[in-house]
């Protein structure tokens, strides 16, 4: 996901939803200082999960980021800050042993006090292999993680992270297996949120009801429960100890297609559309006027190649496909010139990002592409999978048309109904073709564009890439004593990705969003999330 991200898998959200009666607070007390009235509505697609350690895509993260408080937040330059965060301090002397001091006064939405135990128990649950949490890899640097995993039917040797120790009710000591200078940033990711005692069943797993009725420690609490494929409604939590939101209620309306979402925005039945559909970008300038906004994003769009498939094992096949795509033409015609062609694997908003690490392989050269493809004996038919609820059909068809023309192959865009389903199939490596992929950072670090996507066995390694050389480069960078040295090491790791091309860079995206006439102070962050704390009604 991530920010996080954004766990961070991004879709262009879309959905159909129920209208909530204005001013209905469902029996919950309005927060002092908030404006009580009709709920602010934000369009999303159906999330895959709402459990922090199981949420690695953007729709779920948009929701849970309103329900929980991260240990760390980030300023506009991507530096960790503790203002409006749950941690009072995060310190280390050697980048291996970290001390986290919690702010006092946080409570879960059921009134339970948030303590060190609330975090430690949640992390142990997320890290324990049999619980099969998608975000479990983010605990892997903590000492004792390996003992909690099992590749056989036998239970793991341990049920708790030996590297996590409670010092007192508000202090946690975390010992890593090896020094990692970026760990403070990692702590800002949603897998490190706490969980209340009410989340757990008697056997230590989560109750079946918890995901539909999550209890967090954030500025909003859930109202009712997750109404699947329709809406997730949240209302301001009156006992939140930090800055309060300016609106009392937010309804995340779930859509199945972006066109319906945009029609609702125009009709005044939706307040915020986080991503304007590509086929509406031209008309939106007239439809929305100054309510059409564009802000920086960490979003990186790319195509994952199934390196385990014989047809794509030859790196020259992957290079040829990349060279056969005219990114700028697609951006100009479909995205109204609002994106930038990606010539590297790291978003330019991140410190350490470099342009043109892809070299000639990302330059449009159809003649050379065809020669290389034929020499490498690329497949005669290419399938490009994408989620139908994300507004991707137009550009996927454009890519297929270019590949068909420039490589003399048959190319077919293959839709999967929902992002949640696409992600399940991607993790199972059951899609025997190219895969539309995207990443917004979980935390602002060049490392986050590398380890989660290319480490062997990582949940988001859709190409099933496995390179000992890459792993060694990452390990050396992780152990660097300072950020500047670490960045150079991660750049070396990106150079290895450039040689092997398990993925094909496409473009770096901006947040292009719109909102209704009744809203003001609508902002989206680098994680491609609507900032629910700044929202106000006119």
Q: pLDDT tens, 346-395?
A: 999 999 999 999 999 999 999 999 999 999 999 999 999 999 888 899 99
pLDDT at 28: 53
What confidence score (pLDDT) does residue 483 get? Answer: 87
Give the number of other CB atoms < 10 A from CB of residue 235: 28
End-to-end CA, the chain: 33
How far is Cα 94 from Cα 176, in angstroms, rounded to an integer? Answer: 10
DSSP annotation string for 79-121:
-EE-TTSSEEEEEESSSSEEEEEEPTT-B-TTSPBP-HHHHHH
Given a cut of 70, the residues of the chain with pLDDT beneath it are 1-37
pLDDT of 10:
36
Q: What confidence score (pLDDT) does residue 214 get?
A: 98
Domain 78-199: what homologous superfamily?
Dipeptide-binding Protein; Domain 1 (3.90.76.10)
DSSP assigned state of 424: H
Q: To 10 degrees, what angle do helices 315-323 and 366-375 make?
A: 160
Domain with CATH 3.10.105.10 in the chain: 300-508
What fold is seen in the domain 300-508?
Dipeptide-binding Protein; domain 3 (3.10.105)
Per-residue pLDDT tens over the stretch 135-154? 999 999 999 999 999 877 78
* Stretch(es) of the chain classified as CATH 3.90.76.10: 78-199
Contacts of 484 (CB under 8 A, 6+ apart): none
Q: Residue 173 has what pLDDT?
A: 98
CATH 3.30.450.40 fits 40-69+218-297+513-537, yes or no: no
pLDDT at 14: 31
Task: Give the CA dihedral 26, 31, 36, 39, nearest 10 degrees.
Answer: -60
Q: With beta carbons less than 8 A apart as the criterion, state whether 209 and 224 touch.
A: no
Predicted confidence at residue 69, as pLDDT, reads 98
Q: Do 18 and 34 meet the contact criterion of CB atoms below 8 Å apart? A: no
Q: Which residues contact 371 (CB under 8 A, 6 or more apart)?
A: none
User: How far is it, in rounded angstroms, from Cα 215 to Cα 126?
Assistant: 16
Predicted pLDDT at 278: 86
What pLDDT was estimated at residue 27? 45
The structure tokens 């994408």 sit at: 386
d(CA 206, CA 198): 9
**Region(s) of the chain under CATH 3.40.190.10:** 40-69+218-297+513-537
DSSP class per residue in 291-359: GEEEE----EEEEE--TTSGGG-SHHHHHHHHHT--HHHHHHHHSTT-SEE--SSS-TTSTT--S-TTG
Question: What per-residue confidence (pLDDT) applies to 389?
Answer: 85
For residue 258, what pLDDT is reported?
Answer: 87
């Amino acid at each position: 996901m991530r920010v996080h991200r954004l766990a961070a898998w991004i879709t262009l959200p879309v959905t159909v939803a129920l209208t909530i009666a204005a001013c209905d607070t469902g029996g919950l007390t309005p927060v002092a200082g908030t404006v009580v009235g009709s709920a602010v509505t934000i369009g999303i697609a159906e999330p895959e999960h709402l459990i922090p350690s199981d949420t690695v895509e953007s729709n779920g993260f948009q929701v849970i980021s309103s329900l929980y408080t991260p240990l760390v937040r980030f300023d506009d330059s991507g530096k960790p800050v503790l203002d409006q965060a749950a941690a009072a301090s995060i310190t280390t002397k050697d980048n291996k042993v970290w001390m986290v001091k919690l702010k006092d006064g946080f409570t879960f939405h059921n009134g339970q006090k948030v303590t060190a135990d609330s975090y430690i128990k949640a992390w142990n649950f997320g890290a324990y292999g049999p619980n099969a949490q998608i975000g479990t890899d983010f605990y892997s640097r903590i000492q004792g993680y390996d003992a909690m995993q099992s590749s056989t039917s036998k239970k793991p040797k341990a049920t708790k992270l030996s590297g996590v120790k409670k010092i007192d009710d508000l202090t946690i000591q975390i010992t890593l297996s090896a020094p990692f200078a970026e760990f403070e940033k990692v702590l800002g990711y949603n897998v490190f949120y706490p969980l209340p005692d009410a989340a757990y069943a008697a056997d230590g797993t989560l109750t079946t009801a918890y995901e539909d009725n999550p209890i967090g420690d954030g500025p909003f609490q859930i109202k009712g429960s997750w109404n699947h494929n329709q809406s997730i409604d949240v209302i301001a939590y009156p006992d939140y100890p930090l800055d309060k939101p300016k609106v009392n209620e937010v309804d995340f309306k779930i859509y199945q297609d972006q066109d319906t979402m945009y029609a609702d925005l125009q009709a005044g039945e939706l307040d915020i559309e986080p991503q304007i559909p590509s086929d509406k970008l031209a008309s939106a300038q007239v439809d929305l006027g100054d309510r059409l906004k564009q802000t920086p994003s960490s979003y990186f769009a790319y195509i994952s190649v199934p390196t385990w498939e014989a047809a794509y094992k030859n790196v020259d096949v992957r290079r040829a496909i990349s060279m056969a795509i005219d990114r700028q033409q697609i951006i100009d015609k479909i995205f109204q010139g609002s994106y930038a062609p990606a010539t590297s694997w790291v978003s330019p908003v991140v410190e350490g990002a470099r342009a043109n690490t892809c070299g000639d392989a990302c330059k449009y050269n159809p003649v050379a592409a065809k020669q290389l493809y034929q020499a490498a004996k690329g497949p005669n038919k290419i399938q490009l999978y994408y989620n139908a609820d994300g507004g991707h059909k137009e550009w996927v068809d454009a890519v297929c048309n270019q590949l068909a023309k420039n490589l003399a192959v048959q190319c077919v865009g293959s839709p999967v109904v929902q992002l949640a389903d696409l992600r399940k199939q991607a993790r199972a490596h059951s899609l025997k073709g190219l895969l539309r992929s995207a990443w917004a950072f979980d935390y602002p670090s060049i490392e986050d564009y590398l380890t989660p996507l290319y480490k062997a066995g990582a949940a988001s390694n859709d190409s099933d890439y496995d390179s000992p050389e890459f792993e060694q480069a990452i390990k050396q960078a992780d152990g660097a004593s300072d950020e500047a040295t670490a960045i150079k090491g991660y750049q070396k790791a990106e150079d290895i990705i450039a040689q092997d091309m398990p993925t094909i860079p496409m473009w770096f995206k901006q947040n292009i969003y719109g909102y209704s006439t009744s809203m003001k102070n609508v902002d989206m962050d680098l994680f491609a999330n609507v900032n629910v704390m700044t929202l106000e009604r006119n």
